[in-house]
Amino acid sequence: MTENIQKTITIATRKSPLALWQAEFAARLIEKNFPHIKTKLLPMTTKGDQILNVTLNKIGGKGLFLKELEQSMLAGEADIAIHSMKDVPADMPDEFTICSIFKRHDASDAFVSNTYSALEQLPQNARVGTSSLRRQSQLLAIRPDLQVLPLRGNVQTRLQKLDNGEYDAIILATAGLERMQLDDRIKSKLIPNAWLPAVGQGAVGVECLSNRSDLIELLAQLNDEESAQCVNAERAMNKVLNGSCSVAIGAYATLNNDKIAMQAIVCAPDGSQSIRQQAEAKDPYELGSNIAKLLLADGAQEILDMADD
């Protein structure tokens, strides 16, 4: 099959340094595993990259990082798009599919500060930057005294805002900092399962058109089965809960022998309420669905509805 595929694969990517790193990583992986194939990048600016003065949940959610990339595939300008899986909505349009998930990196969040070494060290009313409701709710659950302030932009922009004194600390994904070789900025990690990351955090996925069976068959060979099972379990839960960046949902799945174990949390944006569940199963979709049902049975819908008010 691989011999019949086109000789060049065009990769749509956002222009941010981290997105370009991910696309270049994918390009190297493809060319290393399939020497007869060349890759080229098609860097694009998405609406999510352009509107930085409003939180994502107010302007349409995570899908804003995908739309232009998906349009380029529909128009035949690109063959695949590379994403952080935490940016991929749980409910994808039928025309598109995730055909490969690479080996997952560290899924934790990182505490970044120029003055303090850990969340516990922050003084009363300290200013913490994040535009993630999930991070905000978990911060306020631990430290209701904190001022949680909006923080948008790429990794470097967010760090610059911290360095300019706009915040006492910020919360970023560990994977992004380490991929950008900025791990020296990490003061401490907020580790699963005490603090739960975003669904799919730390994993990079490949999207293509659902009718591109040639690409699906080819790129399936680069799929990391363990990472894919864990990410798919988290995404299955998110889909049942209708999760987006306008609700505070965290999840983390791991593979233990032949079973996937997962913890998940649904939080009120102000940190005042949270519902947590855990379960294990062999099938990722069954596990995700089961945990979602357990959360809903415990009253998660009431909390989820708060985000829509």
Element (H, E) at 127: strand 127-129
Contact 52, 153 (CB under 8 A): yes
Contact 78, 14 (CB under 8 A): no
Contact 214, 4 (CB under 8 A): yes
Q: How far apart are CA 272 and CA 266, in angstroms?
A: 11
Q: Which of 49, 79, 87, 109 is catalytic?
A: 87
Q: How far apart are CA 174 and CA 263, in angstroms?
A: 19
Strand 204-209 and strand 80-84: the pairing is: antiparallel
The β-bridge partners of 249 are: 266
Please name which of 123, 120, 85 lies closest in space to residue 190, comparing C-alpha atoms: 120
Contact 207, 99 (CB under 8 A): yes
Phi-psi region of 252 (alpha: psi -120 to 50; beta: other; left: phi over 0): beta
Burial class (CB in 10 A: 0-12, 13-18, 19+), 225: exposed
Q: Quick check: is 183 catalytic? A: no
Q: How far apart are CA 128 and CA 168, in angstroms?
A: 6
Asked if the bond preceding 154 is cis, omega within 30° of 0, the reply is no
Q: Which of the residues are catalytic? A: 87
